[in-house]
Amino acid sequence: MSAVNDSLVVARRNLIRMGRIPEILVFGLIQPIMFVVLFTYVFGGSIQVGASNSTHAYREFLMAGIFAQTVTFATAGAGAGIADDMHKGLIDRFRSLPMARGAVLTGRTLADLVQTALTLVVLAVVALIVGWRTHENLAKVLAGFGVLLLLGYAFSWIGALIGLSVRTPEAATSGGLVWLFPLTFISNAFVDANKMPSFLRHIAEWNPFSATVQASRELFGNLPPGFHASGAWPMQHPVWASLIWSVVIIVIFRTLAVRKYRRAAG
């Protein structure tokens, strides 16, 4: 319980810091809003999904991908924040306190999760304005956002490990984004993966990002008419696949990040 309390104290510290620097949240919203507008009004008319060729069908298909991209791109911010704390010597100050070693990272990732949740709320409002709608009950819709946030929390631990492994926040930001672009674009986020070349389709089908996108689409009721998922297990059971992927990522990268933190702090 003391470790949990320490983690909550660190999370509160990071949330207060974010509140005093509102630019962090504002600039974090600009990119996903731009993606919504660009893909909806620029590319939406030329991309067909399922049996429908309407812009509205693609708009609903798209939003789950935008939501998932938003929560995963928070990885770069998480890594940069931890690298900044390391660079400024804040970790050395934490070392002198009687607190659990893993609480520093857990508190940071929990604060990032709260920020991501706020970003999703604003982004959902923007999506509703441009015509996105859900077609399932409230419980399933909330479950859809739940799997998205769980993936974002899992990826924040990857960001934590990157932040502990580099020397500057700038390097952490670059390191947090360089692998995210292929991960998000070689997926079913923006196009139907069934139309990809064979070798790319297999990568997209087993991509943890794709599983979460597919799961949220099903839970939102946003699968377009005539759309048929591939026979790959993650695409046939996306909710379970998303949960399994997220838990595995959390277990692996939390273990690695805490071990790296202990070595750095030692």
Banded pLDDT at 231 (limits 50, 70, 90):
confident
Highest mean pLDDT, choosing among 95-104, 177-186, 244-253: 244-253
Give the pLDDT confidence score for residue 238 in this predicted structure: 94
Pick from 74-78, 95-99, 171-175: least confident: 95-99
Pick from 17-26, 45-54, 84-93, 220-229: least confident: 45-54
Arithmetic mean of pLDDT, 57-82: 85
- In this structure, what token pair is assigned to residue 180? 């995210």
Give the pLDDT confidence score for residue 234 in this predicted structure: 92
With a threshold of 0.85, does the pTM exceed it?
Answer: yes
Contact 208, 151 (CB under 8 A): yes
Arithmetic mean of pLDDT, 50-76: 80
Highest mean pLDDT, choosing among 2-11, 38-47, 99-108, 135-144: 135-144
Average pLDDT of the chain to the nearest whole number: 84
Alpha carbon distance 214, 212 (integer Å): 5
CA 192 → CA 25, 71, 210, 226, distances in Å? Answer: 31, 21, 11, 12
- CA torsion sign for 234, 201, 182, 27 is negative
Domain residues of the chain, as ranges? 2-265
Arithmetic mean of pLDDT, 252-264: 86
Arithmetic mean of pLDDT, 29-39: 79
Alpha carbon distance 70, 76 (integer Å): 11
Give the pLDDT confidence score for residue 53 in this predicted structure: 62
Q: What is the DSSP letter of 206?
A: T
3-state SS assignment for residue 52: strand
Number of residues in the chain: 266
Pick from 21-30, 101-110, 130-139, 232-241: least confident: 21-30
**What digits encode the pLDDT tens for the residues 131-178?**
888 989 999 999 999 999 999 999 999 988 888 888 787 888 787 788
Q: Is the pLDDT of residue 45 over 80?
A: no
Arithmetic mean of pLDDT, 103-131: 87
